[in-house]
Structure 1
Amino acid sequence: MLDPSQTPGFSPREVRTAAQARKIVEERQLTHVKVGLFDNDGVMRGKYMSRDKFFSALEHGFAFCDVVLGWDVKDQLYDNASYTGWHTGYPDAPVRILPHTCREIPFEDGMLLFLAEFDRQAEAVCPRGILRRVVERCREAGFEPFGALEYEFFLFDETPNSAREKGFRNLKPFTPDWFGYSVIRNSVHSELHRQILELGERMDFPIEGLHTETGPGVLEAAIAVDEVEAAGDKAALFKTFLKVLAQRNSLMATFMARWSGDYPGQSGHIHLSLRERDTGKSAFFDPEKPQGMSIVQRQFLAGQQRLMPELLALMAPTVNSYRRLVPGFWAPTGATWGVENRTAALRVIPGSDKSQRQEYRLGAADANPYLALAAALGSGLYGILQGWEPGDPVAGNAYALEQPDELALPRTLWESAQRLRASAAARELFGNSFVDHFAASREWEEREYRRHVTDWELERYFEII
C-alpha cells in the first residue's frame, strides 16, 4: 500500500464517479476497501471487500443479507416484520455503492471507506433512501434543503469489557462534576479534543464547535452545515467514528438519550433551512416580516409542529428516548415553538439571508440521523404543501404551559409507534412499506423492554409488596 500523502490523483472527497472510485483504489494499491451502510437504528454495518469485487460492485451493485433490516441493535430478529424474516429466509438484498461518499479512514493506513444504500425493493425501507427521497421531493417543490446536527455525548474512562464487567453501573466518567463550557477541561484534555477535531476534518464531518456540556464527561459537537443528504452522512459517520476514536483511546462514548437519572439527557438537535433553487436566496428570510420569517418558513414550522406527535418515533426511537422527554431537563415535552426560546420544541433563529433557520430541539442523540432528518424536513415540506399556519409562539417557559391535546407528545415508544402507523402524512411522505416496517420494529423494541425485570422493580417490590 502506498503512502496516501505521496499518491497523485484524486483525494477521497473529490471522488464523484465509479471511474474515479476505481482510479483512487488503484492509485493507492489497495487490496481491499471498507464498505458500510446503516440499519434501522442508525448502526453502521459493513465489511472489507476485495478490490476486484469492489470494482464489480461499482458497476453492478452487490448483495447484502437483508437481516440487517430485520434485527435490532442486539442482533435479535424481529418476529413481527413483513418485509423480511423467517418467512422470507433472510435473502440477500441488492445494494449500490455511492462513489461520492468516499472517505479515508485516518488510522487505517490510507484505507478507503465507501457508503452504500439498499436498492430495488429493499430501498423502500432503507433509512438513507428515505431521506434521499424526501430531499428529492423538496427539490421538486423548488427548494434546496440545508441542515446541520449537533450532538451531546458522554465519555467514560471504561472499555467495552470493563463496562460489561460492571454491569454498566458505577462507570467512571472521563472527567468529574458539572463543568459546562470549561476551558480548563478542554485545555487539560486538549490532545483528545484535537483528535476529535482532526477526525472531523479528515473524514469530512467538520466540527464547527466542540465544548464541554453540563455533566461529568459530557461534550457537545456541532457539525458544519451541508446539503441535507450529505448532512445525514456526516452525522451518521460522526456518531460511528467518534465511538471508534474513543475506544482507540481506551474510552467509551455513549449517545443514549439519557444514561442516568441524575444527569440531563443527550440531544441531537437539527438545524434546517431552505433556499430557492431558481434564485439561490433563502426561502425562510423576509426582512419585511416579523422576526424575518417568510411565509414559507411559517408554513414549514407549522408542518413540523403539527406532525411532531405523529412522527415522534423517528425522533425518539428507543425506550430510553422517553426518559429524556421530561420537564426541566432541556428537552421539549410538547410540540411548541418560540423565537430564540430553548424551552420550546422548535426554536426559530432570526438572522439574515445566510443565517435564518430553525432548530428542531426535540431530537435526541440516539436517533438514526437519516430518519431524524427525514422527519424534520419531511414534516416541514408537508406544511408548505398544505399551506398550514403555526399556532402562537411560546414566550417564557414552555414547560409551564398546559399543552393542547393536538400538541401533546406520546409518552411511550409504543404509543409513538401507533401514532406513526395511523399517520396519513407519514405514509404519504415515506411510503407504506417503511411506515409499517419501522412501526413494527419500534413495537418489537417496546416488547423486548417489557420482557425484562428492572433493578428498580426488584428494589421496590421484592421484599415489601
Structure 2
Amino acid sequence: MLNAKDVKTVEDAKRIIDERNLSHVKVGLFDIDGIMRGKYMSKEKFFSSLDSGFAFCDVVLGWDSKDQLYDNGKVTGWETGYPDAPVRILPHTCRDIVDEPGQLLFIAEFVDEAEKVCPRGTLRKVIEKGKAMGFDAFAALEYEFFMFDETPDSIREKGFRNLKPITPDFFGYSVIRNSVHSELYQQIMGMGELMDFPIEGLHTETGPGVLEAALAVDDATKAADKAALFKTFMKVLAQRNNMMATFMAKWSGDYPGQSGHIHLSLKNSADGSSAFYDANNKHNISKVQRHFIAGQQRLMPELLAMFAPTVNSYSRLIPGFWAPTDATWGVENRTTALRVIPGSPKSQRVEYRLGSADANPYLALAAALGAGLYGIEHELEPEAQVKGNSYEQTHSPELALPRTLWESAQRLKHSAAAKDLFGETFVEHFAATREWEEREFRRHITDWEMERYFEII
C-alpha cells in the first residue's frame, strides 16, 4: 500500500486512489490572500485532470477575502466574464487530511496567463532565479496565533467583541498551559505529522490563548506549501473542537500582535554547502549572506505590502511590541527587522522578523527570498548592524517603513526591483488588490471613531 507522503508522480496518485477505493478526492489552490479555495472532485474527473489539467474559475484571483469583486483589476473582471483558467494538479503534494480518514488532498496551481499572478507561481519564479544564480533556497516559517473558546456563530452573535480566549492572562512558554491542554497540543502536533507539515516547536506565547508553532525547515517551495496548509487546517482543527484560531496581525490593542517569521538560508547548488557560512568572518557571515541581508534591507520598504497585506497589519508595526518599525538588521537581536542567526554551516541563517501572521506564505517568502537574491545580484552592502534596542535608536530615513497599506501599495507599484523579481503583471495586480483593501476599510466607521467623536465633536 502506498503512503500519501510517497506519492511523487501521476501514476502514484492514481495508484493510491485506487488502493484506497476513493470515489472523490479534495483539490485546493491558494488565492491572492493565501486562502485555500477548492472542492471535492470525482475519481474520474481527477484522473482526467492529472493527465490533462482542468479549469478553475479565475474569480478567485479577482475577489477579496470576503468574496467581493475588485473594481480595479485587469487580470480578470466583469469585462472578461470571469472565465475558467487552466490549472495543474501537483501529485507530489498529496496529503492525508486531519479528521477525514482515508481521504486525500492535492494542491493545484494556475498555469499559462493566470500563473503570472498565482502566488505559488510567483514564488517559483523567484526560486528559479536563485537556481540560475547557483543557489538552492531553504526556509522555515513560524506563526503566532490566538485560540478562542468561540465558534463562527458565537463571534458573530457577539459582534466580534468580548471574545473569550482559551486561557487567560500572559503566560509565555507555560508548561502549565500546555499540560492542562495537552490533548489540544497533541492534536496539533499529530495533524502536522499526518499532513506533512511537521511542527518543530509548539508553545504558548505572551498573551491570553496565544500559541506559537515553528514548522520544520524544507526547501522553499515545500516550506511555503506547508505553511499555507498549516494555517488552513489549524483553523479547521480549532473549529472541529468548537474553538477558533485567528492569524490576524493584531486582534486587540491590549496584546502583542501575531508574527509570521521566515527563516531563510541558501546552499550552493554545486555541492550542497552553505552559501551563508564563512568561518573566517565575524559571526560566520559570508560575503553572499552579507549581500543577501543588504538586499532584504534595501527592498523592505518597497515590498512591505507582501509581508503586511491588510489594514490590520499596520496596527502591529508599532514600537515596543516585538514588531520592527524600520528596515534594520542585527546579530541575534529581536528588536530588528532582520535577525542574523550565526551558527554552524547547517544552521547559519537570517530570520525575516517583519512579517505578520496574516501574510500569504507564498508571497511573503517570495519577497524575502527575492530581495536577498537582488542584493547578491547587485552586490549590495547593508547599513551598519544595530546593537541594543533598535526602538530607542534613530535610523536613516531610507530605512523607514510605510505606515499604512495604501502607502505600501504605492511603494510596491512603483518598485522597479519588484517588477524585475515578480513580473509587472503580478506587481500591478497585487498593488491594485491592496489599494482595494484600503478603500474598503475607508468605507466603514470604526468603534473608535464613534466613541471618540459622536458626542463631543
Q: What range describes the TM-score normalised by the shorter chain of this pair?
A: over 0.9
TM-score (norm 1): 0.98
Q: Secondary structure at the match of 1:310?
A: helix
Q: TM-score, normalised by structure 2?
A: 1.00
How far the C-alpha of 1:400 sits from its partner, in A, is 1.1
Q: What's the offset of the Cα at 1:217? A: 0.2
CA deviations on 1:11-57 (whole Å, 9 max, x unpaired) are 11111111111111111100000000000000000000000000000
| CA displacement 1:209-236 (0-9 Å, x = unmatched) | 0000000000000000000000000000
Please give the secondary structure, in 2, of the residue aligned with 1:111: strand
Question: For each residue in 1:292-351, what CA deviation from the matched residue of structure 2 results, as whole angstroms up to 9, or x when unmatched?
Answer: 000000000000000000000000000000000000000000000000000000000000
Please list, as runs of the form range in 1=range in 2, the aligned pairs for 1:310-325 lying within 5 A after superposition: 310-325=302-317
Note the alpha carbon deviations across 1:44-94, whole angstroms, 9 max, x for none: 000000000000000111010000000000000000000011111100000
Q: Deviations over 1:362-409 (max 9, x none)?
A: 011000000000000000000000011111000001111222121100
Q: Identity over aligned residues, as a percent?
A: 73
Q: Does 1:56 align with 2:48?
A: yes
- Separation in structure 2 between the aligned mates of residue 437 and residue 203 of structure 1, nearest angstrom: 32
DSSP 3-state at the match of 1:286 = coil
1:165 corresponds to which residue? 157
Q: What is the rounded CA distance, in whole Å, between the counterparts of 1:396 and 1:457 in structure 2?
A: 37
Any stretches of 5+ residues in structure 1 without a counterpart?
1-7
Deviation at 1:179, TM superposition (A): 0.3
For residue 20 of structure 1, the aligned residue among 4, 12, 20 is 12
1:299 aligned onto 2:291: yes
Query: 1:8-407, aligned counterparts within 5 Å?
Result: 8=1, 10-407=2-399
Determine the C-alpha separation between the residues in 2 that align with 1:402 and 1:392: 13
Runs of 4+ in 1 over 6 A off after TM superposition: none
Distance 2:247 2:98 in 1: 22
Tell me the residue number matched to 1:5: none
User: Distance in 2 between the 1:459 and 1:278 partners?
Assistant: 62
Give the distance between the partners of 1:454 and 1:269, measured in 2 at CA.
Answer: 29
Q: Shift in Å at residue 255 of structure 1?
A: 0.1
Aligned amino acid, residue 72 of structure 1: D
Task: Number of aligned residue pairs: give it.
Answer: 457
Please point out which of 398, 407, 422 is paired with 1:430.
422
**Alignment-mate amino acid for residue 41 of structure 2:** M
Structure 2 residue ranges without an equivalent (≥5): none
1:4 aligns with: none
Aligned-partner SS, 1:175 = coil
Counterpart of 1:308 in 2: which secondary structure? helix
1:412 maps to which residue? Answer: 404
The code of the aligned residue for 1:307 comes to L
User: Which 10-residue stretch deviates more, 55-64 or 402-411?
Assistant: 402-411
Amino acid at match of 1:299: H
Q: Distance in 2 between matches of 1:38 and 1:350?
A: 34
**3-state SS of paired residue (2:100):** coil
The residue type paired with residue 111 of structure 2 is D
Q: Distance in 2 between matches of 1:93 and 1:280?
A: 38
2:15 partner amino acid: K
* Residue identity matched to 1:95: V
2:96 aligned partner, one-letter code = E
Does 1:460 pair with 2:452? yes
Following the alignment from structure 1 to structure 2, what is the Cα–Cα distance between the partners of residues 252 and 62? Answer: 33
Between the aligned partners of 2:297 and 2:204, the Cα distance in structure 1 is 30
Cα offset for 1:106?
Answer: 3.0
Aligned residue for 1:311, secondary structure, equals helix
Q: Secondary structure at the match of 2:302?
A: coil
- Give the Cα separation in 2 of the matches to 1:209 and 1:458: 42
Q: State the Cα deviation string for residues 403-424 of structure 1 (Å, max 9, x = none).
A: 2121100000000000000100
Cα distance in 2 for partners of 1:184, 1:88 equals 56
SS of the counterpart of 2:301?
coil
Distance 2:207 2:345 in 1: 36
Equivalent position amino acid for 1:408 in 2: A
1:285 to partner: Cα distance: 0.2
Measured against aligned partners, the alpha-carbon deviations of 1:253-311 in whole angstroms (never above 9, x if no partner) come to: 00000000000000000000000011111000000000000000000000000000000
The letter for the 2-side match of 1:126 is C
Distance 1:303 1:426 in 2: 12
Shift in Å, 1:109:
2.0
Aligned CA-pair RMSD: 0.5
